[in-house]
Chain A
Amino acid sequence: MSQIPHFISTEPFDAEATVAAGSVVSERYARASQARLIWWRFLRHRLAVVSLLFLVVSYASILVVEFLAPYELNSRHTDFIFAPPQAVHLFHEGRFVGPFVYPLDYSLDMETLRRTYEPDRAQPLPIRFFCHGERYRMWGLIEADTHLVCPPEGGTLFLLGTDRLGRDMLSRMIYGARISLTIGLVGVTLSFILGISIGGLAGYFGGWVDATVQRVTEILRSLPELPLWLALSAALPLTWSPLLVYFGITLILALLDWPGLARAVRSKLFALREEDFVVAAEMLGASPRRIIFRHLLPNFMSHLIASASLSIPTMILAETALSFLGLGLRPPITSWGVLLSEAQNIEAVALYPWLLLPMLPVVLVVLAFSFVGDGLRDAVDPYQH
Chain B
Amino acid sequence: MIRYLMQRIVTMAMTLAAVSVLVFAIIQLPPGDYLTSYIAEIQAQGEQVTADKIQFLREEYGLDKPVWEQYLVWVTGLVQGDLGYSFEYNQPVADVVGERMPLTLILNAATVIFIYLVSFPIGIYSATHQYSWSDHGLSFLGFLGLATPNFLLALILLYLANVWFGTSVGGLMAPEYIDAPWSLAKLGSVLAHLWVPVVVIGTAGTAGMIRRLRANLLDELNRQYVVTARAKGLPERRILFKYPLRMALNPFIADLGSILPQIVSGSVIISAVMSLPTTGPMLLSSLRSQDMYLAGSFLMFLAMLTVVGMFVSDILLAVLDPRIRLGVKGAR
Contact = CB atoms under 8 A, between A and B. Distances in A.
Q: How large is the interface on B (under 10, 10 to 19, 20 to 34, 35 or more residues)?
A: 35 or more
Given A219-B22, A346-B158, A363-B144, A226 B149 contact: no
Interface stretch (A31-39, A93-101, A169-177, A366-374): A366-374
A237 B155 CA distance: 30
B22 A362 contact: no
B159 interface: yes
B97 interface: no
B143 interface: yes
Contacts of B151: 321, 324, 344
A118 to B, nearest CB: 25
B46 interface: no
Nearest to A237: B31
B302 A227 contact: yes
A52 to B, nearest CB: 15
B332 interface: yes
B148 A363 contact: yes
B156 A356 contact: yes
B288 interface: yes
A208 to B, nearest CB: 14
B123 interface: no
B190 interface: no
A367 B19 contact: no
A227 B287 contact: yes
B19 A222 contact: yes
Interface in A212-232: 215, 218-219, 221-228, 230-232
Contacts of B19: 219, 222-223
A211 to B, nearest CB: 10
A301 interface: no
A219 B156 contact: no
B169 interface: yes
Nearest to B169: A346
B265 A367 contact: no
B76 interface: no
Contacts of A324: 149, 151, 269
B159 A235 contact: no
Contacts of B306: 221-224
Contacts of B103: none
B35 interface: no
A340 interface: yes
A350 B299 CA distance: 36
B198 interface: no
Interface string B294-332: 010011001100110010000000000000000000001
A227 B279 CA distance: 12
B264 A346 contact: no
Given A222-B306, A367-B147, A370-B147, A235 B15 contact: no
Nearest to A211: B11
B27 to A, nearest CB: 7
A199 interface: no
A185 to B, nearest CB: 17
A171 to B, nearest CB: 21
Given A234-B288, A367-B144, 4 more contacts: A206-B332, A218-B15, A363-B148, A367-B143
